[in-house]
Amino acid sequence: MINSISNLFDKKSDVVGVEINPQKINITQIAKQGQQYKLQKNVSTQIPQGIYEDGEIIDSLSLSELIKDVFKQNRISAKEVVTAVPMREAIIRIIPVPAELDEEELKDMIMVHEAGMHLPYPREEVDLDYTKLGYFMDEDGIEKVNVLLVATKREVTDLYIDIFEQADLKVKVLEINSFALIRTIKDQLRQFGAQEAVVLVDIEFDSTEIAIIVEGVPQFSRTIPIGTYQMQETLEQEIDGSSDEGINALRNIDLIPGLEDTDNSSLSSLLKVVGELTDELGRSINFYLNQSEDLDVAQMILAGPGASIGKIDEFFTQRLNLPAMPVDPIAALAIETGNSIPPEERSGLGIALGLGMREVA
């Protein structure tokens, strides 16, 4: 499923990154010129109603036709893509195994024995991959290596592969969207030490994905069914779920003064939804910390379209007593865009840019 997790940053061939979510298709094509990266294509198109339902793809044929049309209209000639499945569709585990195992023994242990213990599905129903992370000495003085195991149900990976095949495209790499986002902010993550956890909060259209990251590796993940769509609904205006009107309205909201504006019913409803999301974030962080010794949460990084909501970073900081900051993916990757991408739109490009970078970085 995931092609060479251990080589996330290696340069490959000329492909495009394609992010699919219930709101948009985001396509990026990035070229490397010397030490500089240049964004050659940055295309987004709305997903029509009827293709997704409750976050699941229900009309794959129409989605394939839409992808094909977008490639044609924007003169994208690449025939290979890097794309990703949502984190909620994946199982991510870190497994310690004896360091003395050779490659064949390691593969047998992970693919047969450990996979059977850690996966809730029969082995024949999943696609999985693994990579070594780092060596350590356990409490008995035995050298071991941590292995990152990633799996999805085969029906999910087959669906994505079929969608692109119907669009006359080949999936070269299929990964997890949180991995693409981590690739985008890898330099920011390097600022933190082995005992410092970073909470990556990706606020998407219909859900929020949380990944708690230590030394660049997700240690804990969770999907919360609250996203910008649920927030938009509280604004009590005619908002088409396939348009940008809702997120623009949320960007113009200031959540901090809103805490005291109890006469505004729409704002009060919005604050309730954001408050529920905040409470779930707090529960997830506390759950992880209760299982982790000698580890502190150093930073919360906000990504996705919801990161541009008015002062949501300050809201989280005040409510959770943790420093929160939105990420600018363009600045994080130091990509030359050639044209101006408004700051408020940049936070939603983290996954698409990470996918585009997969084969050139």
pLDDT at residue number 7: 41
Cα 361 from Cα 92, distance rounded (Å):
24
Q: Which residues contact 77 (CB under 8 A, 6 or more apart)?
A: none
Written as tens digits, the pLDDT of the chain (361 aa) is 444 433 433 343 478 999 999 999 999 999 888 778 899 999 999 999 999 998 899 999 999 999 999 999 999 999 999 999 999 999 888 888 888 888 898 888 888 888 778 788 888 888 988 888 888 888 888 898 889 989 999 999 999 999 999 999 999 999 999 999 999 999 999 999 888 999 999 999 999 999 999 989 999 999 999 999 888 888 765 444 445 666 777 887 778 865 554 456 667 888 899 999 999 999 999 999 988 877 889 999 999 999 999 889 999 999 999 999 999 999 999 998 877 788 888 999 999 999 999 988 6
Note the pTM of the prediction, 2 decimals.
0.88
Task: Give me the pLDDT at residue 257, please.
Answer: 65
Say how far apart CA 156 and CA 167 lie, in whole Å: 17
Residue bearing tokens 């993916």: 329
Residue 10 DSSP class? -
Model pLDDT, residue 355 = 96
Query: Which pLDDT value is given to residue 210?
Result: 96
pLDDT of residue 203: 96
pLDDT computed for residue 245 by the predictor = 66
The answer to whether residues 174 and 161 touch, using CB atoms and an 8 Å cutoff, is yes
Radius of gyration, CA atoms only, the chain: 21
pLDDT for 241: 45
Cα(32)–Cα(345) distance, integer angstroms = 23
Q: List, in order of start, the domains of the chain with CATH numbers.
A: 90-153 (3.30.1490.300), 190-326 (3.30.420.40)
Q: Cα(36)–Cα(38) distance, rounded to whole angstroms?
A: 7
Question: DSSP readout, 53-70?
Answer: ETTEE--HHHHHHHHHHH
Can you give the pLDDT at residue 10? 37
Residues in the chain: 361
Q: What is the predicted pLDDT for the residue at 350?
A: 95
How far is it, in rounded angstroms, from Cα 150 to Cα 131?
A: 9
Q: Are 212 and 220 in contact (CB under 8 A)?
A: yes
pLDDT score recorded for residue 251: 82
